[in-house]
Amino acid sequence: MRKTLVAITLSILLVAALGMTALGATPIKGGTLRVAVTSIQQLGLYKSASNDENDATSLIFDQLFVISKNDFQPIPHLAESWDNPDPLTWVFHIRKGTMFHDDNAVFPKGKSREVVADDVVYSINRMIKLSTSFVLGPIKSVKALDRYTVEIKTETPQPFLVNDSNRLARMSVVPKEAIDKLGEDGFAKTPIGSGPFKFKNFSPDSGLVIVRNDLYWLPIYLDAVEFVTIPDPAVQTLALQSGEVHVVKHLFNLEVAQTFEKNKNFQLLSRGGSYRGLGFNVSVAPYDNFEVRDAISKILDVDAAFKAVIGSHGERAYGQCPPWVPHGYDPSLKSIWSYDPAAGLKLLEKNGFKDVNNDGFLEWNGKPFKVEIKTLAGSQVKVLTIFATQLREKGLNASVLQQDTAVWADDLVQGNTGLFFDYSFAGTTGFHSLFHSSMIGKSNTHYYKNAEVDKLLDEALTKTKFSELSALWKKAQKIVFEQRVGIPMYFEWSYTIASTKVNDLVPPWGGFNLVTIENNVWLSK
């Protein structure tokens, strides 16, 4: 029987603690950890997928496993162990003696019950019903083999079922009788789980308070966690500086990060980040022409823009798969990119670009032509503005159009773009969603269609060995970028900033893990 705790080796250090806590100090029990959040609207699970709501529910509900702080492997939690006896079967062994929260409308104080396999089966089926079922993948069946053993059958091989922080790691175990008694809406307001903290009170306007679960199978140092609603990220950092909160999460702001990393009273923590790049809609002229896309890639000095804006707060990207997904990460792609503006201009001239009216800008086939880069707010605006300047210096009338999220996303899906900011990284099954032709008009916002790539990605879905997956994904990714479907820029770190009073904190990744077998957060006096 093949064990499924598959080791994932990181190629870079993803956990960086730039401010130091009291290393080696003896933990102190007590205190309330105050965490700034932008918004928590409900706690019913799967109806919303905001980072703040996921972080909160990951403390109220137990997960089968959590993602390790060190190497992103799944580590035991509610499930003590698991096996993958064949490509379509997963078997999970549930920890005995785990109890649901008591002192609530369903389980009076001292009247809780044990979490068993039937609860896991119910919770998985509930997750599939309430969410877009892609989270779990194509599950064929789930059943209890005995009181503490759960079997999951999948339609196709799912090697990433336990390795992906956005899939089974998000599945939280709930008691059926709580849903039956409270209803989904009532449960969303007063949730009951078996996690390290239990619900106390909640208001979308003010926030959420959860308190220590004394029935938990691990010791807990904190008395409580308070999620404080502060919609404005700038105000969140002010609250952190004043001591109103201890932690600010999911921060993408270079200026703020640079300020806090120099302050000895705070810690700047990261577990990786997000892909940043340019994407072409290859169905729209002139970007349907490979040589035009290649010309633009040669004119852009990505290295210079990255160093000027991002620097040590990210890593240069040459493909769409990040370094912490080694079965897709391919550093050899660096060789396909070159900064050669003279060659780029020759390619443009070859394809009908010429300044026919001597206004300093290239017309295309005798008509005015504008390069409009559509983007969202964020640090990439500075990088894209540098790109626009570089293109203008070479005769292309380029500009950056900053859009609201909804408008930007709708434009991409509807194909109303030419050149756009792209932040979708190809982790786990991401290559299929980003580049398979069946996903055009959905997640394939490049409108890219390539029969060879489709074949490679379809074949990858049948593989269970990471070595076989890696070979197929890397081949597909190389084809995609050799055809200049996009221009990778960098991976930008996401930060959690915390007071140095907070000890043993791990930045959120698929959940806000404050109490695990690897870490247990506590507050210094």
Helix segments in 405-465, DSSP class H: 405-414, 430-435, 451-460
Q: Give the chain's length.
A: 525
Q: Where along the chain do its domains lie? A: 31-246+501-523, 273-493
Q: Is pLDDT of 296 > 50?
A: yes
pLDDT at 59 over 70: yes
User: pLDDT digit string (tens) for 155-164?
Assistant: 878 777 787 6
Asked if pLDDT for residue 47 goes beyond 80, the answer is no
CB 101 within 8 A of CB 215: yes
Pick from 27-36, 327-336, 424-433, 470-479: least confident: 424-433
Q: Which residues pair with 99 in a beta bridge?
A: 114
Segment 178-220, tens digit of pLDDT: 999 999 889 988 999 999 999 999 998 889 999 999 999 999 9
The residue ranking higher by pLDDT, 137 or 133, is: 137
pLDDT confidence of residue 348: 98
Q: What is the pLDDT of residue 132?
A: 45
**Residue type for 2, please?**
R
- Per the model's pLDDT, the better-predicted residue between 347 and 130 turns out to be 347
Cβ proximity of 288 and 517 under 8 Å: no
At 443-466, the pLDDT tens digits run: 899 999 999 999 999 898 787 777
pLDDT at residue 25, rounded to an integer: 82
Residue of 172 and 22 predicted with greater confidence: 172
Q: Which CATH architecture has domain 273-493?
A: Roll (3.10)
pLDDT tens, position by position, 461-478: 787 777 888 899 999 999
- Calculate the average pLDDT of the chain: 87
pLDDT of residue 46: 56
**Residue 406 identity (one-letter amino acid):** A
Phi, psi of 383 (to 5 degrees): -65, -45
Would the pLDDT of 366 be above 90? yes
- Minimal CA–CA distance to 432: which of 160, 125, 139? 160
Say whether pLDDT at 125 is over 80: yes
Is the confidence at residue 287, as pLDDT, over 80?
yes
pLDDT at 425: 63
How much of the chain exceeds pLDDT 90, in percent?
A: 62
Q: Residue-wise over 171-192: b if at least 16 C-beta within 10 A, else e? A: bbbbbeebbeebeeeebbebbb
* CATH code of the region 31-246+501-523: 3.40.190.10
Spatial CA neighbour of 181 closest among 192, 171, 197, 170 = 192
Q: Is the pLDDT of residue 413 over 50?
A: yes
- Distance between CA atoms of 206 and 146, rounded to whole angstroms? 43
Angle between the N-to-C axes of helices 290-299 and 341-350, in degrees from 0 to 180, rounded to the nearest 10: 150
Q: What is the pLDDT of residue 443?
A: 87
Is the predicted pLDDT of residue 18 greater than 70, yes or no? no
How far is it, in rounded angstroms, from Cα 110 to Cα 196?
Answer: 17
The mean pLDDT value for 235-239 works out to: 94
Mean pLDDT, range 377-398, rounded to an integer: 94
Question: How much is the pLDDT for 133?
Answer: 39
| In the chain, % of residues over pLDDT 70 | 91
Letter for the amino acid at 231?
P
- Under 8 Å between Cβ of 298 and 341: yes
Name every residue whose Cβ is closer than 8 Å to that of residue 254 and which is 6 or more positions away in sequence: 309, 310, 313, 379
